[in-house]
Amino acid sequence: MPHAPSAAAPASTDANALADAGRALWSATLMLMTAFMQTAAPAHRYLLARRIARNFGTLREQDCFSVATRKSFSRLADRWGARANLLAPADLRTAPSWRQRLAFTLRAR
């Protein structure tokens, strides 16, 4: 006689799927880091660094990784974000953020 599926089975399946997705994102981030090192074009390096920083930011929020690993991801997100800022074109460094532009627009009304 087949057993009825327990309520824990879907939660376990979801946790496994989330862990698999986290590992896949980590693997993709490593590939982006490899591409960054092999690319000489400043614009491409800037975009890659931004994507790498965002990926590490996402990874640091995933419970499927240990606390120590998430702290490492957090440091890496900050480091890659700083690198992206250094590689940003000059006009992006001095341009107001979208939040600053929105706040200015709302104040003008």
Q: Is residue 78 part of a domain?
A: yes
Q: Is residue 74 part of a domain?
A: yes
pLDDT attached to residue 90:
76
How far is Cα 75 from Cα 90, in angstroms, rounded to an integer?
25
Question: Measuring CA to CA, how many Å separate 55 from each of 31, 60, 76, 79, 96?
Answer: 12, 9, 10, 12, 24
pLDDT attached to residue 82:
95
Q: Is residue 5 part of a domain?
A: no
Q: Which domain holds residue 60?
A: 15-108
Q: Is residue 103 part of a domain?
A: yes
Q: Is residue 9 part of a domain?
A: no
Tokens 């930011």 correspond to 57
**Residue pLDDT tens, the chain, 109 long:** 455 555 556 667 888 998 999 999 999 999 999 999 999 999 999 999 999 999 999 999 999 999 999 999 999 999 999 999 999 887 666 656 767 766 766 776 6
Q: Is residue 49 part of a domain?
A: yes
Total domain count for the chain?
1
Q: Phi/psi of residue 87, each to 5°?
A: -85, -10
Structure tokens at 109: 């009304």
pLDDT attached to residue 1:
46
